[in-house]
Amino acid sequence: MKLHLPLLSVAAAVVLALTVSGCGGAAEAGSAAQAGTEVKELRYQGSANNVTLPELAQDLGYLGDVSLKWVGNTTSGPQDIQSAATSQTDIGGAFAGAVVKLIEAGAPVTAVVNYYGSDDKTFSGYYVKADSPIKAPRDLIGKKIAVNTLGAHHEAVINTYLSKNGLSQDEIKQVQLVPLAPNDTEEAIRRGQVDAGTLGGVLQDRAVEAGGLRSLFSDVELFGSFAGGQIVLRNDFLEKNPSTARTFATAIAKAIKWETETPREEVIARFKKIIDARGRNESTANLQYWKSPGVPDNGVVKDQDFTRWAAWLTTSGIVKDELTTAKYYTNQFNNLAPENAKKG
């Protein structure tokens, strides 16, 4: 496997991001941009055994003269957007709360399109053993819940679930979140190493099929269909490469639309073709479990994609004052956004 970029702290990411911004780093992103030209190669991180939206967009021809350069696979959403902020890559995607955290810490990035979410087909569930005494939110006090990483989607969902069901922040702090690799979560629940755990996608399907687990709640039950995270680009990149940014954001939106409107079997076949063609010694076995993109409205970003997490962002100290959504995102580069429809 190629390079795995190092996980940076938010503070380190911000220092490096500000340094990059001050040195004109975006002009050197991907392939060096010369006077009067724009960057046409975007460095990105992928995901093993999966097809990302940028990769799908490229295969469908939506990127036009813009190309992608794979530099390795991401370890997490926060790491992915930190890499973009520090000019190790040009694009990165993460949970909305992680995007807010990075921007609030001073990183010069802006979200341009939603890229993942939950619907009635694709969602994250929170499971316990079938015979677990945990039946209600309050039963989780003093218990352990496995999540893939702290400070991201699952922590925000769990905190919101508990808060909406009457637990105080002091009580919520007594619910221990345990970082655990998703591939190990099901077994940890079954062995009693954790009391509950987060499962999604193929891991969720396999666990449910095997039996012996019970769903306590899901994020889609809590919020309905929603967008969970955004792809960000650096602000200086957006300023110097507006046409490339527009091509990219619109391509992602078109790829989401294609996934939404295309028969499932055709989508899976396309994914398999892409994975086989890139020659990274990956498995395509789990593609059969793909159900939907889970992203509403062609990736158009909305205020509620951030305000949904306002209580958690405030209680966790990420947002010190009032949540100001305007500084986190723009839809100006997504031609499928209603306000840009005339641009095609």
- pLDDT, tens digit, for every residue of 138-169? 999 999 999 998 888 999 999 999 999 999 99
Of 223, 257, 273, the one marking the end of a domain is 223
For residue 13, name the pLDDT band (cuts at 50, 70, 90).
very low
> Domain check: are 101 and 131 in the same one?
no
Q: Which helix (H) or strand (E) holds 216?
A: strand 213-218
Tell me if 338 is assigned to some domain: yes
**Whole-number percent of the chain with pLDDT over 90:** 80
- As a whole number, mean pLDDT of residues 35-48 equals 88
Above 50 in pLDDT, residue 76?
A: yes
> Domain check: are 65 and 201 in the same one?
no
Above 50 in pLDDT, residue 179?
A: yes
Tell me if 82 is assigned to some domain: yes
Handedness of CA 252, 254, 259, 260 (dihedral sign): positive
Q: Domain range holding 150? A: 124-223
Q: Tokens standing for 203?
A: 């891991």
278 C-beta neighbours (distance < 10 Å), count: 14
pLDDT of res. 100: 97
CA angle 232, 36, 244 (to 5 degrees): 30
Tell me if 70 is assigned to some domain: yes
pLDDT of res. 151: 86
How many domains does the chain divide into?
Answer: 2
Tell me if 238 is assigned to some domain: yes
Chain position carrying tokens 């079997």: 265
> Domain check: are 147 and 278 in the same one?
no
**Residue 68 or 4, more confident:** 68
Give CA separation, 70 vs 47, 74, 113, 278, in Å: 10, 11, 20, 10
Of 223, 258, 291, the one marking the end of a domain is 223
Residues 167 and 134: their CA atoms lie apart, in Å, by: 15
User: CB of 222 within 8 A of CB of 157?
Assistant: yes
> Domain check: are 214 and 247 in the same one?
no
> Domain check: are 100 and 135 in the same one?
no
Tell me if 53 is assigned to some domain: yes
pLDDT of res. 170: 96
For residue 36, name the pLDDT band (cuts at 50, 70, 90).
low
> Domain check: are 244 and 206 in the same one?
no
Half-sphere exposure of 87 (CA within 13 A, CB side): 23
> Domain check: are 151 and 88 in the same one?
no
Tell me if 2 is assigned to some domain: no
Above 50 in pLDDT, residue 20?
A: no
- As a whole number, mean pLDDT of residues 65-77 equals 93
- As a whole number, mean pLDDT of residues 70-77 equals 90
Tell me if 94 is assigned to some domain: yes
Above 50 in pLDDT, residue 11?
A: no
- List all residues 6 or more positions away from 79 whose beta carbon is below 8 Å from its beta carbon: 5, 7, 8
> Domain check: are 237 and 201 in the same one?
no
Above 80 in pLDDT, residue 33?
A: no
For residue 321, name the pLDDT band (cuts at 50, 70, 90).
confident
Tell me if 4 is assigned to some domain: no
pLDDT of res. 12: 45
CATH code at 46?
A: 3.40.190.10
**Residue 190 or 76, more confident:** 190
> Domain check: are 239 and 263 in the same one?
yes
Average pLDDT, the chain: 89
**Residue 271 or 341, more confident:** 271
> Domain check: are 309 and 273 in the same one?
yes
- pLDDT, tens digit, for every residue of 86-141? 999 999 999 999 999 999 999 999 999 999 999 999 999 999 999 999 999 999 99
- pLDDT, tens digit, for every residue of 197-238? 999 988 999 999 999 999 999 999 999 999 999 999 999 999
Of 157, 192, 223, the one marking the end of a domain is 223
- pLDDT, tens digit, for every residue of 252-292? 999 999 999 999 999 999 999 999 999 999 999 989 889 99
> Domain check: are 130 and 109 in the same one?
no
> Domain check: are 72 and 105 in the same one?
yes
